[in-house]
């Protein structure tokens, strides 16, 4: 039937919807909310990663104590062995290889030939084995194995890779590459004041500064190494002093300081073996009593200088470091020594 109602009396149909301005306002509000929420989400993720890092160090600390119970000393950094190609003295099984049975790694240690160095063809098979306990979740590149360095191995046919570690043993205020073939070998061993280093046999009783005031292990951020050097350091199975040991010569996270080039503070070896992490503000450190604490970058420490720290000399004849009488150690250096006689209160760090 034809509708004869005048058009002005017919109900008007209004279409519902949003104007462009309203849509833009909503999008802007959502963007602001995301901007406010994203840092909180990232902070929560980092907190979870840091907690996992703490757990890794606790496991390594417990493994060290289990090793000490079984062997009456903490695991050595390495003992001198020989390279298979020329029988030259080189670093043997390192601290992490020796800890494998205590972190559910017995099959891996069974594949290691203790008669030869880690750079021998007999031990290339375990070089690429990734050990998750040795990876900090914030250290993104550490879990990516890379083609192995052919200058260190005479490789058999095949594709061989090298895995890495975010963690290292505390060798003390300074690091030395120690092998029994060194002309001043006994003097160099005696010069070390940490807990884990070449030919170390440190007992709980010999940590006279107190196990709660002495570092056992800590972090070195593998991902922080320059791209040109990242594949050459922090090999998990190596006994080289810049691979699985750290020194406390420089403050933690030295890469964040205004120090110019790495060469100003001694070269890549020194850069690689000083403590660092991808956690904001500091590093996680395992103490000899089994606890793990977060040490802030602002901890009292020797300054970063080209050459030796104030009061520290190097005896080139014996190839050891020497402290001048009255030399002041920072709190960071004091926590790295096992028998320096320092008294460090917990509020100092």
Structure confidence at residue 14 as a pLDDT band (50, 70, 90): low
**pLDDT value for 92:** 94
CA distance 223 to 234: 10
The answer to whether residues 96 and 123 touch, using CB atoms and an 8 Å cutoff, is: no
Per-residue pLDDT averaged across 22-28, rounded?
81
CA distances from 123 to 87, 100, 155, 235 (A): 15, 15, 10, 13
**pLDDT value for 318:** 95
The answer to whether residues 244 and 94 touch, using CB atoms and an 8 Å cutoff, is: yes
CA distance 311 to 331: 16
Structure token pair of residue 24: 């833009």
Examine residue 18 and state whether it is found in any structural domain, yes or no.
no
Structure token pair of residue 137: 């979740």
Per-residue pLDDT averaged across 132-156, rounded?
88
Examine residue 8 and state whether it is found in any structural domain, yes or no.
no
**pLDDT value for 260:** 44
pLDDT in tens, 316-341: 999 999 999 999 999 999 999 999 88
CA distance 93 to 165: 15
Percentage of the chain modeled with pLDDT above 90:
62
CA distance 78 to 189: 12
How confident is the prediction for the chain on average, in pLDDT?
88
Examine residue 219 and state whether it is found in any structural domain, yes or no.
yes
Examine residue 170 and state whether it is found in any structural domain, yes or no.
yes
Q: Any residues with CB less than 8 A from the CB of 60 and at least 6 apart, and which? A: 99, 103, 133, 167, 217, 286
Examine residue 5 and state whether it is found in any structural domain, yes or no.
no
Give the range of the structural domain holding residue 61, as residue numbers without chain letter. Answer: 41-149+160-348
Instruction: Output DSSP code: residue 206.
Output: T
CA distance 15 to 61: 69
Dihedral sign for Cα atoms in the order 309, 197, 113, 145: negative
Structure token pair of residue 100: 């494998």
Q: What is the pTM of this model?
A: 0.85
Examine residue 130 and state whether it is found in any structural domain, yes or no.
yes
- Overall number of domains in the chain: 1
Structure token pair of residue 166: 């975010």
Examine residue 7 and state whether it is found in any structural domain, yes or no.
no
Q: How far is CA 57 from the centre of its chain?
A: 10
Examine residue 180 and state whether it is found in any structural domain, yes or no.
yes
């Amino acid at each position: 039937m034809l509708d004869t109602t005048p058009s002005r009396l017919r109900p008007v149909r209004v279409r519902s919807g949003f104007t462009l301005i309203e849509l833009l306002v909503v999008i802007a509000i959502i963007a602001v909310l995301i901007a406010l929420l994203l840092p909180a989400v990232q902070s929560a993720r980092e907190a979870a990663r840091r907690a996992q890092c703490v757990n890794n160090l606790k496991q390594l600390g417990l493994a060290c104590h289990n090793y000490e119970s079984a062997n009456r000393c903490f695991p050595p950094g390495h003992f001198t062995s020989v390279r298979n190609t020329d029988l030259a003295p080189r670093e043997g099984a390192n601290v992490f290889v020796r800890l494998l049975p205590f972190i559910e790694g017995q099959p891996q240690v069974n594949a290691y030939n203790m008669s030869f160095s880690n750079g021998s063809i007999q031990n290339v098979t375990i070089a690429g084995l990734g050990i998750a306990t040795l990876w900090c979740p914030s250290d993104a590149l550490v879990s990516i194995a890379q083609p192995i360095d052919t200058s260190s191995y005479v490789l058999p046919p095949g594709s061989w890779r090298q895995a890495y570690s975010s963690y290292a043993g505390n060798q003390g205020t300074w690091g030395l590459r120690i092998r029994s073939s060194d002309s001043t070998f006994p003097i160099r061993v005696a010069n070390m004041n940490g807990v884990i280093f070449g030919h170390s046999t440190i007992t709980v009783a010999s940590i006279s500064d107190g196990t709660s005031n002495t570092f056992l292990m800590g972090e070195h951020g593998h991902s922080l190494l320059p791209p040109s050097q990242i594949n050459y350091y922090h090999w998990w199975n190596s006994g080289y002093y810049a691979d699985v040991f750290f020194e406390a010569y420089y403050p933690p996270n030295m890469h964040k300081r205004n120090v110019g080039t790495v060469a100003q503070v001694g070269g890549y070896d020194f850069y690689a073996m000083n403590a660092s992490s991808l956690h904001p503000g500091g590093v996680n450190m395992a103490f000899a009593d089994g606890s793990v604490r977060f040490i802030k970058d602002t901890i009292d420490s020797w300054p970063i200088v080209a050459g030796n720290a104030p009061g520290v000399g190097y005896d080139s004849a014996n190839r050891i470091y020497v402290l001048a009488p009255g030399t002041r150690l920072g709190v960071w250096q004091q926590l790295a020594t096992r028998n320096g006689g320092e008294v460090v209160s917990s509020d100092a760090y």
